[in-house]
């Protein structure tokens, strides 16, 4: 109660300092649940408000953050031929991953929340909660070496044009995190596509590889100042430190399983990665997409708390599986011949299913609509993935496409329900009139 009283005393005046009051309100409502409760006995009551619902979604992603951060470091050292065992050089891999992830996380939230705060102050209302989830998702779907200025521009684009232009949280028709990614994909394609972007430090290691035979120790490109800072700490602890970057392993490409499959089918994938590696996620890729078990744990949390729709998840899986089987039957390209079940080992299907497609704001709201919505995302996303080599991962486009049509799907579902009920009501009335006529006769 002491902290609550203190916070109430320092509350800024809303009229004199609207921006400071907006910041204060955002922190206060994050720390304390609203004091209002529903008095009527006919309503359900719950301790969860919107902020805490959003926090549960963010918590469901944390295993993806932990694993993805470490895997960023692991892939870097694998490319350099160092510490090839997954747990070898644990502290170096974890620190390298953190050095890459923290700036991405900070820039995403500084830009996104800064815009949110500014709009909230201008409108004179409380800070909206939607960016809690978008801000957590964006770092997980970006490459580890994305230029921070490109990231900042993409976040600003997504928040302003994809959200605030429609009225803010709850009004946007497209998933904000996916808008940030699609902006980078089309505006700066070389920063988010190709084999080299998914391994941290690929260009520095690769540049030395060409002249590896002619250099001596000490002439390799050094790590940055942050690595040097940790080197000092590791030196005091008498454990392994970051050394000069070594040339890339001969023949290493940085290609993801998706890129390999699009060029050479399943044989090309399994010649580089085992199914176990793809399932557990010790492969190159977006930070949050690689580890299927941790994604599924997050999906389970969302389902258990009732935040995500199981209808969307299940129908999306069915749609993707059916389309993959159909493409197996066609078999015109090596990618089409990848066994349908192994399509789920590659790429970001489960991440898109758990955290993107189930967004309650941009998805359909009717139960029937959720089945249609998820089924179409699964089928269209798999079709884009396999048919068009320019888009080796189709879920981003499929989800945004179905976001656009979600209101239309709900409209026709409701129209169908109303027509069916009107027809049933008319039949009942007709039956009643007939019965009256018979009784009078």
| pLDDT tens, position by position, 317-334 | 999 999 999 999 999 999
Q: What residues contact residue 296 under an 8 Å CB cut-off, 6+ apart?
A: 350, 354
Query: How confident is residue 6, by pLDDT bands cut at 50, 70 and 90?
Result: low
Q: pTM of the prediction?
A: 0.84
Contact yes or no for 127/169 (Cβ under 8 A): no
Q: Could you give the CA distance from residue 106 to residue 126 in angstroms, rounded to a whole number?
A: 22
| Residue 401 confidence (pLDDT) | 95
State the chain's mean pLDDT as an integer: 83
DSSP assignments along 279-345, one per residue: HHT-SSS-TTTS-HHHHHHHHHHHHHTT-S-HHHHHHHHHHHHHHHHHHHHH--STTTTS-GGGGGT
Tokens of 425: 């009501």
Q: Please tell me which residue, 127 or 286, carries the higher pLDDT value.
A: 286
% pLDDT > 70, the chain: 79
The pLDDT confidence band at residue 254, using thresholds 50, 70 and 90, is: confident
pLDDT in tens, 123-172: 776 666 678 889 999 999 999 999 999 999 999 999 999 888 887 777 88
Which tens digit of pLDDT belongs to each residue from 428-438? 656 655 655 55
Please report the pLDDT score of residue 164 as a whole number.
86
Name the more confident of 380 and 30: 380
- The answer on pLDDT for 183 being more than 70 is yes
Residue 178 contacts residue 323 (beta carbons within 8 Å): no
pLDDT band at 54 (very low <50, low <70, confident <90, very high): confident
Extract the tokens encoding 12.
């800024």
**Number of Cβ atoms within 10 Å of the Cβ of 228:** 12
Rounded-to-integer distance, Cα 379 and Cα 326, Å? 10
For residues 337 and 15, the model is more confident at 337
**Mean pLDDT across 23-27:** 52
């Amino acid at each position: 109660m002491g902290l609550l009283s203190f916070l109430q005393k320092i509350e800024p005046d809303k009229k004199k300092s609207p921006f400071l009051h907006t910041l204060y309100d955002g922190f206060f409502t994050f720390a304390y649940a609203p004091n209002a409760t529903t008095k009527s006995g006919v309503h359900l009551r719950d301790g969860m408000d919107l902020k805490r619902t959003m926090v549960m979604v963010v918590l469901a992603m944390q295993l993806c953050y932990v694993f993805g951060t470490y895997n960023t470091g692991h892939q870097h050292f694998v490319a350099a031929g160092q510490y090839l065992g997954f747990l070898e050089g644990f502290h170096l891999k974890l620190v390298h991953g953190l050095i890459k992830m923290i700036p991405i996380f900070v820039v995403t939230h500084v830009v996104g929340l800064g815009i949110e705060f500014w709009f909230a102050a201008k409108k004179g209302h409380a800070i909206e909660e939607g960016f809690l989830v978008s801000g957590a998702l964006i770092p997980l779907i970006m490459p580890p070496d994305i230029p921070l200025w490109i990231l900042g521009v993409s976040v600003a684009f997504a928040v302003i044009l994809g959200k605030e232009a429609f009225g803010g949280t709850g009004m946007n028709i497209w998933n904000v995190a996916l808008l940030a990614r699609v902006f980078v994909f089309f505006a700066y394609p070389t920063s988010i596509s190709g084999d080299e972007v998914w391994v941290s430090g690929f260009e520095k290691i690769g540049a030395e590889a060409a002249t590896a035979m002619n250099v001596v120790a000490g002439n390799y490109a050094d790590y940055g100042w942050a690595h040097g800072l940790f080197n000092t700490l590791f030196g005091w602890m008498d454990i392994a430190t970051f050394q000069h970057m070594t040339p890339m392993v001969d023949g290493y490409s940085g290609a993801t399983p998706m890129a390999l499959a699009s060029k050479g089918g399943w044989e090309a994938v399994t010649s580089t990665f085992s199914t176990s590696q793809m399932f557990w996620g010790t492969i190159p890729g977006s930070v949050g997409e690689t580890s299927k078990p941790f994604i599924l744990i997050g999906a389970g949390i969302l389902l258990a708390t009732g935040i995500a729709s199981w209808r969307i998840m299940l129908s999306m899986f069915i749609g993707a599986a059916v389309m993959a089987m159909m493409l197996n039957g066609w078999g015109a390209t090596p990618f089409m011949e990848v066994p349908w079940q192994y399509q789920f080992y590659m790429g970001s299907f489960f991440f898109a299913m758990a955290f993107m497609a189930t967004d309650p704001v941009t998805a359909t709201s009717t139960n029937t609509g959720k089945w249609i919505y998820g089924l179409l995302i699964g089928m269209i996303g798999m079709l884009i993935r396999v048919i068009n080599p320019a888009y080796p991962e189709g879920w981003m486009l499929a989800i945004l496409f179905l976001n656009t049509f979600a209101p239309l799907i709900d409209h026709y579902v409701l129209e169908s329900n109303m027509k069916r009920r009107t027809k049933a009501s008319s039949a009942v009335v007709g039956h009643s009139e007939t019965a009256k006529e018979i009784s009078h006769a």
